[in-house]
C-alpha cells in the first residue's frame, strides 16, 4: 500500500493533518519497552533495537533538561483475573506476571531516581492509571509517546492523550510494531487525526531550543 498516495487521494485536499506542535512543558512517556517485548523467543517479542536507540536519545534529552518522563509496563496476577477479556483475545499476555523479570523495563533505558513506572492492564497508558494526575501535577501540556506497539499501546495512548487535551507527539523512529504494515498505517492515522508524527531529531532539537531560550530569559 502506498500510504503517501492514499493520503493525497483521500485526505490531501481536506482539513486533516494540521500540526499541533510542542508546547512549553512536554513530558515523555515510554510505552511497554520491557524485557518480554525484545525477546524473539516470546510470542510478544520482536526486534525493537532501533526503537530502543531512539528512545534512549529522547530519554537523555528529557533527563538533561529536567522534564517529566514516565515508563509503563503491563503485568497481571498469576490468575490473570485482572486481565479481563484482554487475556482471551491475546493469550500471549499470560507471560506478563507481576514480579517477574519479563515485565521489567529494558536495562538500556532503566528508570533512575524518582522516575515512575506506571503499571497498566490495557492498551492505553491512561486507562485505569493515575497518569492524568501525574501530568496535571507537573503542568504538562505536551505528551511525547515512544515505545511499542504502534498499532496497539502507542496508538491507544495517543488517542487518549488528545482526548485529555494534550498536544500529542509521536516520533516515528522511536515507535515500532511487529510488522511494517500496521506500523505505517497507524502512523498515518495518528498524524492525520490525533497528533504530530515527527522524527526524534526534530523533538531533540526543539526541546534543546526552547530550554535554551527559557534559560536565556531567566538571565
Residue 80 among the catalytic residues: no
**For the chain, what is the largest distance between any 2 Cα atoms, rounded to a whole number of angstroms?**
57
Q: Do residues 29 and 158 lie in contact, with contact meaning Cβ atoms separated by under 8 Å?
A: no
Residues 6 or more apart in contact with residue 69 via CB below 8 angstroms? 27, 28, 29, 30, 59, 62, 63, 115
Place of cell 515507535: 175
Rounded to whole angstroms, the Cα distance separating 187 from 199 reads: 12
Annotated active-site residue in 22, 153, 158, 170: 153
So which residues are the catalytic ones? 153
Amino acid at each position: 500500500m502506498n500510504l503517501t498516495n492514499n493520503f493525497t487521494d483521500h485526505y490531501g485536499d481536506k482539513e486533516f493533518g494540521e500540526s499541533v506542535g510542542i508546547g512549553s512543558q512536554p513530558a515523555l512517556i515510554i510505552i511497554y519497552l520491557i524485557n518480554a517485548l525484545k525477546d524473539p523467543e516470546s510470542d510478544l517479542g520482536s526486534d525493537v533495537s532501533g526503537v530502543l536507540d531512539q528512545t534512549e536519545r529522547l530519554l537523555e534529552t528529557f533527563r538533561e533538561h529536567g522534564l517529566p518522563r514516565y515508563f509503563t509496563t503491563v503485568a497481571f496476577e498469576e490468575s490473570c483475573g485482572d486481565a479481563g477479556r484482554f487475556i482471551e483475545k491475546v493469550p500471549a499476555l499470560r507471560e506478563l506476571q507481576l514480579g517477574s523479570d519479563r515485565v521489567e523495563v529494558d536495562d538500556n533505558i532503566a528508570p533512575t531516581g524518582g522516575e515512575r513506572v506506571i503499571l497498566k492492564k490495557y492498551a492505553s497508558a491512561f486507562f485505569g492509571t493515575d497518569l492524568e494526575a501525574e501530568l496535571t501535577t507537573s503542568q504538562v501540556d505536551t505528551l511525547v509517546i515512544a515505545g511499542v506497539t504502534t498499532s496497539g499501546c502507542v496508538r491507544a495512548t495517543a488517542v487518549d492523550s488528545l482526548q485529555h487535551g494534550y498536544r500529542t507527539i509521536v516520533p516515528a523512529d522511536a515507535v515500532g510494531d511487529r510488522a511494517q504494515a500496521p506500523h505505517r498505517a497507524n502512523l498515518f492515522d495518528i498524524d492525520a487525526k490525533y497528533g504530530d508524527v515527527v522524527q526524534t531529531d526534530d523533538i531533540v532539537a526543539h526541546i534543546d531550543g526552547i530550554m535554551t531560550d527559557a534559560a536565556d530569559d531567566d538571565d
